[in-house]
Amino acid sequence: MRLAIATVRRRWAGLAGLFVALSLGIALLSAACTVYASGLPAVPERYASADAVVRAPFVEDESGYPVYRHWRFEEARHLADRLAAVPGVTDAVPDPLFYAQPVLGGVPQDLGDAATEYGRAWSSAALGGYRLASGTAPAAEREAVVSTDTGLAAGTRVSVLTAAGPVEWTVTGTVEAPGVYVPDAVAARLAGGVRVIGLRVTPSFDASAVAGLVGEADVLTGDRRSRLEPEHEARLRWIGAQLVIALTGLAAFTTVFVVASTFALNVTQRRREIGLLRAVGATPGQVRRTLLGEAFGVWVPATVTGLLLGLPLAYALAALMRAGGIERHDFAVRLLAWPFGLAAGIGLAVALAGVWLAARRGSRVPPLDALRDAAVDRRPMTRTRWAAGLLCVAGGVAIVLSAAALPEDETTTIVLYSAMLLIVGATLLAPVLVGPVVRVVTRPFVGTRGATGLLVREGTRTAVRRVASTAAPVLVTVGFTALFVGQVDMILDASGRANAADVRAAAVVVPAEGTPGLSDAAVAAAGGGASLLSTTAVATPAGAQPVAADVAGADAATLARVGRPAGLAADEILVAGGVEGPGWPVGATVEFSFRDGATVSLRVAAVLDDAPAPVLLRRDVVRAHDPNALTSIVYVPDAGARATPGARVLTPLEYGRSVDAREGELVRIFLALLLTVGTGYTGIAIANTLLMSAAGRRREYAVLRLSGASVGQVLRVVAAEAVIVVGIGGALGLAVAAAALQGMRTGIAEEVGFTPPLSVPWGAVAAVVAVSLVLAVPASVIPAWRAGRAG
């Protein structure tokens, strides 16, 4: 270990690339882990001042989200009065939530799914600690307090979208909090039911005293109140978590690649030094431990630097996620110890893993062979590298060629694995490909334009490991960039066309951007057509456990489409058959607990093979039990539909492309962040490798100068080498990605029934190559220029 530390001190310039690679990797890991830890469920802002909350009983749906058995408002009010009488409870407030979306300047305020719970009773404002910023509390039927974010002042009129349609309310006051607040009686009518009662308590409060009064309901205190996180925020947090997990994987994967290639070059440049150690009696194990000790010696300062860089990087990443809509607007970084400790531990594992192969190979070099002073790579490919590279390429090609025979629902995922195999294989086999590619590229310049072309050709051919080490990060980044972006583009295009093909209407009416659904008024303005009014309920079949059920209210046009032109009785339901259906037989009686708190028994009238929802009721029945239910789409048989506030009219193709537009936008933001990090890492890795190799090429530059080459000629040779190296990496990465994309194209065609155009993201690939060139050329030219001046 002392020898390793001494070597690190003496050869610090040669290990600078390893230090930078590790520092950046640990910075990315610590930032990603910190953001992930910060994204854990938090207590909703609207319950920040509620010391405890009681939530209604619920069952979980297939995704793990709760579907509540709501209390009727009168029932919740009565329970709140009983809770307020419990010792230690100073106040108990029911919190009815309803759909309310202010229309500002003729356009609904962009609230997204948050609008479904934006309306609240004024009494529940106290649960969030909210106070009036101006004006007075609402008291009459058409009065409301609105957020200061709207820019409205007390005394003005505001149009608010509700489930029934737009209504005009008078603003009596403003509050520095999100929401539209109305008198309790109005909120009770608009919400239908209540699922949360907030409690204000004293220090002597005992939760067990409340538990006996609420039955199956939960009493949540402290951090357990985070279980009331809205579903749309939980989904958003899940997306953010996927991003940081992917960032962590990318950071670890890229760091291993960069550290391995950087240290491999470092070991290659130290062949004489290793040979001397072997000549004086050092065993391969001792050499290997020395090299691993050097990696550990670099890891210590790299960890300190990386953790210091990771903190501001975490804040920057959080800001980007908020701006891109991947996290909620109030998302903030929380500083915890474990993300930094985990990043340091992963950094050490990555450093040792990346160095191990190079150390193992370097320790086996015979002493006399290592003492030979030659710049030529005598054996750039080992048997193990040949075997691993060929195996990866063969496996990747085999999967691509068999894409058409793979299961339809697994094709894209399996082909993605093949792309990873091809990228790894191409990276391992890069030294084999360098010579042929260089000969082809430099052929027009050899013998026709002086010695520059000849020097470039021979210099790259005799240092294939250096060239491969520099080209590897370009290959990986270009390959993954073309693969991921191209895959997303093809899937979205195919999905849009498939969605459009399923539309049997002249036009469709859908919610406007930032609006969660269509009101009854918007459906009526569509001029007729088939539609579904969506809600959820807790269903309890006879003799079975309660389950969450997706329920839809069907109008006459929809019932006619599914073979029920005579309609349904108020106590009848239609259920879907097959795997998507609940499995209830015809004639079965099922109890449904709806959002208004009512429990009714309904009979299965028929089981449908092509039902548009798991459970179908009459539209008026759903509306009676859920005042907040919204319609997602109206299929209009002619082109006479008109748009209203919160609604837009689309052609089938426009609709097909809009279905996955939000998901596509999030995926593109996701990819942009990943590829930005990957491209930056690639550029730094290239610069590190070239700067490290410059120290070992001083004699080469001196020989060129002594042979009569001018400084300009030396610089042109070096710059040309850098361009060729980046070009080789880019070409190999693009070739690998194109092969995998062709396999994915075949798989997508099998799934949707038609072949989408092959999408190659030339712009993204060009950006990666450009960044690589911008860093590679100066990293090669500047050391050569300094060496030339010194000579």
The mean pLDDT of 221-248, rounded to a whole number, is 82
pLDDT tens digits, one per residue of 288-325: 777 777 777 788 888 999 999 988 988 888 887 777 77
How many residues does the structure list for the chain? 791
The per-residue pLDDT for 108 is 93
Q: How far apart are CA 702 and CA 705, in angstroms?
A: 5
Q: At 491, phi and psi to the nearest 5?
A: -65, -45
The mean pLDDT of 352-371, rounded to a whole number, is 66
Q: Are 618 and 669 in a shared domain?
A: no
Q: Cα angle vertex 390, ends 400, 685, to 5°?
A: 95
Q: Which of 532, 401, 418, 423 is nearest to 472 (CA)?
A: 423
The per-residue pLDDT for 374 is 46
> Do residues 19 and 295 make contact, with C-beta atoms less than 8 angstroms apart?
no
Is residue 413 very low, low, confident or very high in pLDDT (cuts 50, 70, 90)? low
Q: Is 725 domain-assigned?
A: yes
> Do residues 574 and 543 make contact, with C-beta atoms less than 8 angstroms apart?
no
Q: How far apart are CA 124 and CA 128, in angstroms?
A: 8
Q: Mean pLDDT score of the chain, rounded to an integer?
A: 82
Paired strand residues for 451: 449
The per-residue pLDDT for 375 is 46
Q: Which of 454, 615, 493 is nearest to 548 (CA)?
A: 615
Contacts of 584 (CB under 8 A, 6+ apart): 541, 575, 590, 604, 607
Please determine, for residue 109, whether its predicted confidence score (pLDDT) is greater than 90: yes
- Percent of the chain beyond pLDDT 70? 85
Is residue 14 very low, low, confident or very high in pLDDT (cuts 50, 70, 90)? low
SS3 of 202-230: the string is CCCCCHHHHHHHHCCCEEEEHHHHHHHCC
The residue behind tokens 């919160």 is 646
Q: Cα angle vertex 331, ends 327, 332, to 5°?
A: 135
Q: What is the SS3 assignment for 599?
A: strand
The per-residue pLDDT for 371 is 53
Is residue 552 very low, low, confident or very high in pLDDT (cuts 50, 70, 90)? very high
Q: Is 30 domain-assigned?
A: yes
End position of a domain, from candidates 225, 254, 286:
225
Please determine, for residue 755, whether its predicted confidence score (pLDDT) is greater than 90: no
Q: Count Cβ atoms within 10 A of the Cβ of residue 512 and give its class: 0-12 exposed, 13-18 middle, 19 or more buried.
A: middle
The per-residue pLDDT for 738 is 85
Q: Are 240 and 368 in a shared domain?
A: yes
Q: Is 521 domain-assigned?
A: no
pLDDT tens digits, one per residue of 61-91: 888 889 999 999 999 999 999 999 999 999 9
Q: Count Cβ atoms within 10 A of the Cβ of residue 9 and give its class: 0-12 exposed, 13-18 middle, 19 or more buried.
A: exposed
Which of the listed ranges 117-126, 287-296, 342-351, 355-364 does the model predict with the highest average pLDDT?
117-126
The per-residue pLDDT for 695 is 62
> Of 188-202, 358-372, 377-391, 634-648, which gets the smallest average pLDDT?
358-372
The mean pLDDT of 752-773, rounded to a whole number, is 84
What token pair was written down for 449? 């334009």
Q: How far apart are CA 153 and CA 235, in angstroms?
A: 34
Q: How far apart are CA 766 and CA 212, in angstroms?
A: 66
The residue behind tokens 């391992």 is 428
Contacts of 629 (CB under 8 A, 6+ apart): 163, 533, 534, 535, 553, 595, 622, 623
Q: Are 498 and 559 in a shared domain?
A: no
End position of a domain, from candidates 209, 225, 241:
225
Paired strand residues for 173: 135, 145
Whole-angstrom CA distances from 273 to 276, 364, 747 are 5, 13, 53
Q: Is 207 domain-assigned?
A: yes
The mean pLDDT of 250-272, rounded to a whole number, is 69
Is residue 395 very low, low, confident or very high in pLDDT (cuts 50, 70, 90)? confident
> Of 539-553, 624-638, 717-731, which gets the smallest average pLDDT?
717-731
Please determine, for residue 572, whether its predicted confidence score (pLDDT) is greater than 90: yes
Q: Are 234 and 295 in a shared domain?
A: yes
Handedness of CA 353, 358, 364, 367 (dihedral sign): negative
pLDDT tens digits, one per residue of 121-157: 999 999 999 999 999 999 999 999 999 999 999 999 9
The mean pLDDT of 213-231, rounded to a whole number, is 88
Q: Are 136 and 195 in a shared domain?
A: yes
Q: Count Cβ atoms within 10 A of the Cβ of residue 502 and give its class: 0-12 exposed, 13-18 middle, 19 or more buried.
A: exposed
Q: At 364, phi and psi to the nearest 5?
A: -95, 0
Q: How far apart are CA 702 and CA 33, in angstroms?
A: 48
Amino acid letter at 334? R
Q: Is 143 domain-assigned?
A: yes
Full residue range of the structural domain in which residue 139 is found: 86-225
Q: At 757, phi and psi to the nearest 5?
A: -65, 145
DSSP assignment of 15-77: THHHHHHHHHHHHHHHHHHHHHHHTS----GGGTT-SEEEE--EEE-TTS-EEE-PEEHHHHH
Q: Are 170 and 246 in a shared domain?
A: no
Please determine, for residue 645, whether its predicted confidence score (pLDDT) is greater than 90: no
Q: At 332, phi and psi to the nearest 5?
A: -135, 150
Q: What is the SS3 assignment for 355?
A: helix
Please determine, for residue 637, whether its predicted confidence score (pLDDT) is greater than 50: yes
Q: How far apart are CA 222 and CA 208, in angstroms?
A: 15
Q: Is 648 domain-assigned?
A: no
The mean pLDDT of 180-206, rounded to a whole number, is 92
Q: Are 234 and 368 in a shared domain?
A: yes
Q: What is the per-residue burial (b if ≥16 Cβ within 10 Å, else e) of 269-294? A: bbbebbbebbeeebeeeebbbbbbbb
- DSSP H or E stretch at residue 534: strand 530-541
What token pair was written down for 553? 């209210």
The per-residue pLDDT for 404 is 57
Q: Is 67 domain-assigned?
A: no
Q: Cα angle vertex 639, ends 638, 645, to 5°?
A: 120
DSSP assignment of 111-140: -GGGGGG-EEEGGGGGGGT--EEEE----S
Please determine, for residue 13, whether its predicted confidence score (pLDDT) is greater than 60: no
Q: Are 421 and 474 in a shared domain?
A: yes
> Do residues 593 and 538 make contact, with C-beta atoms less than 8 angstroms apart?
yes
Paired strand residues for 590: 541, 602
End position of a domain, from candidates 580, 602, 636:
636
The residue behind tokens 């990315």 is 28
> Of 231-235, 485-489, 764-768, which gets the smallest average pLDDT?
231-235
119/494: higher pLDDT? 119
Q: Are 216 and 305 in a shared domain?
A: no
What token pair was written down for 368? 């006399």
Q: What is the SS3 assignment for 504?
A: coil
The mean pLDDT of 242-262, rounded to a whole number, is 73
The mean pLDDT of 548-561, rounded to a whole number, is 92
Please determine, for residue 410, whether its predicted confidence score (pLDDT) is greater than 70: no
The mean pLDDT of 546-574, rounded to a whole number, is 91
Left if phi > 0, otherwise alpha if psi is -120 to 50, otherwise beta: which for 381? Answer: beta
Contacts of 52 (CB under 8 A, 6+ apart): 198, 199, 201, 205, 207, 210, 219, 220, 221, 225
> Do residues 277 and 287 make contact, with C-beta atoms less than 8 angstroms apart?
yes
Q: How far apart are CA 71 and CA 59, in angstroms?
A: 15
Please determine, for residue 424, whether its predicted confidence score (pLDDT) is greater than 90: no
For 524, half-sphere exposure in the C-beta direction (CA atoms, 13 angstrom radius) is: 7
Q: Are 307 and 218 in a shared domain?
A: no
Which of the listed ranges 102-111, 276-285, 415-424 does the model predict with the highest average pLDDT?
102-111
The per-residue pLDDT for 220 is 92
Q: Is 705 domain-assigned?
A: yes
Q: How far apart are CA 42 and CA 44, in angstroms?
A: 6
Q: Are 204 and 304 in a shared domain?
A: no
* Residue 754 DSSP symbol: S
Is residue 439 very low, low, confident or very high in pLDDT (cuts 50, 70, 90)? confident
Q: Are 614 and 632 in a shared domain?
A: yes
Q: How far apart are CA 354 and CA 359, in angstroms?
A: 9
Is residue 411 very low, low, confident or very high in pLDDT (cuts 50, 70, 90)? low
Whole-angstrom CA distances from 167 to 51, 424, 627 are 34, 60, 15
Longest Cα separation, the chain = 99
The residue behind tokens 């009714």 is 600
The per-residue pLDDT for 362 is 63
The per-residue pLDDT for 272 is 66
Q: What is the SS3 assignment for 145?
A: strand
Q: Which of 88, 86, 50 is nearest to 224 (CA)?
A: 50
What token pair was written down for 4? 């390793």
The per-residue pLDDT for 287 is 74
> Do residues 94 and 210 make contact, with C-beta atoms less than 8 angstroms apart?
no
Domain count, the chain: 4
